[in-house]
Amino acid sequence: MQNKLPLYIFLSLILLILLAVTSLYMGVYEFEKHSFFEIFMALWNDDNTIPASDKFVLMNLRLPRIVMAVLVGSALAVSGTCLQGMFKNPLASPDLIGITMGASLFAAISIVLGAYIKPYIPEVFHFSILSIAAFLGALLTMTMVYRISTTNGKTNVIVMLLSGVAITAMAGATTGFLIYLSKEEQLRDLTFWNLGSLGGATWTKNGILAIIILFAFSILITEGKALNAMMLGEKDAQHLGIPVEKIKKRIVVLTALMVGTCVAFTGNIGFVGLIVPYILRLIFKSNYHIILPMSAIFGSILLLSADTISRTIAAPSEIPIGILTAFMGAPIFIAILIRSRKSM
């Protein structure tokens, strides 16, 4: 099966490209009898025969949004896959163990209290305070969950989930208090974070996301064999020459970095890191050498599909994408619980 990995990746990429092209055509605005190739060529050749509205909608609205869906979907899916491999449990995902909510809380703090915090930090960080806060929130939450639920290298799944529930409850209560303190403009931003949306996609945000995600991927994608060895037990993995503790720290930091950045730009989008690894595990078993790279592509496919549905099903209004992913993820979460109960 591992020999067929390039074929699986190739076919998945074709599916992703077809979905992206389809998504470009779907929306309230209809292009005036011009293909996207013609619009791209007009932009390249500075041709004024194509309506300016076509160019604007394509280059400033739909294409940045599709690129952001691809980047965020892959980041959340790979984060969930790595966490499940580290905890050796299919229930570990950024949203279920509180990482997403922790990042959202710190993002909310930077939105409401940012004016009071900025005087105490260097000016160079003022424009990125939201992203830095979301990353710190994700990192702090991830560290807390890992410390609470892991004893002598073994993770107690019940403690892990309960600590995630407790952190989510505390973060939700604090966010609610911040909403109470917020002004009208801040309230709109906070509502955006809680529901999740790709509507704020820009090329600048996509550039930042791409740099961070590609950096994290370049390190995490190669850890598939190490995660396979860790499934045997951490002591056995160490005997095989796997630096278990280094890999754990790497996963904790890079997962927090990706989730924090995604939350800073898109808000709270849940269950992507649960749905994708679960589906891939049904197909490829628990072979992380295959699941890790495939999760990056299928995460993009899932979030791009959800975003296309969210902005077309109730046009001209838009359903928050976090609502759709929750509708998709909750039944799968229940299915995992039922399977886990049967295996006991």
User: Domains along the chain?
Assistant: 77-343 (1.10.3470.10)
Among 126-130, 167-171, 180-184, top mean pLDDT goes to: 167-171
Residue with tokens 């403690």: 159
Contact 209, 200 (CB under 8 A): no
Question: Which residue type occupies 89?
Answer: N
Q: How far apart are CA 53 and CA 128, in angstroms?
A: 31
The percentage of residues in the chain with a pLDDT greater than 90, rounded to a whole number, is 22
pLDDT of residue 175: 86
Residue with tokens 């994608």: 221
What SS3 state is found at 154?
Answer: strand
Phi and psi at residue 151, to the nearest 5°: -135, 125
Is residue 34 very low, low, confident or very high in pLDDT (cuts 50, 70, 90)? low
- What count of other Cβ atoms lies within 10 Å of the Cβ of residue 141? 28
pLDDT of residue 1: 58
pTM: 0.87
| Distances from the Cα of 278 to the Cα of 17, 75, 248, angstroms | 23, 16, 21
Q: Is the peptide bond before 293 cis (omega within 30 degrees of 0)?
A: no
DSSP 217-269: HHHHGGGHHHHHHHTT-HHHHHHTT--HHHHHHHHHHHHHHHHHHHHHHH---
pLDDT of residue 159: 83
| Distances from the Cα of 150 to the Cα of 142, 159, 161, 182, 340, angstroms | 12, 9, 12, 37, 20
Mean pLDDT of the chain: 84
Contact 194, 175 (CB under 8 A): yes
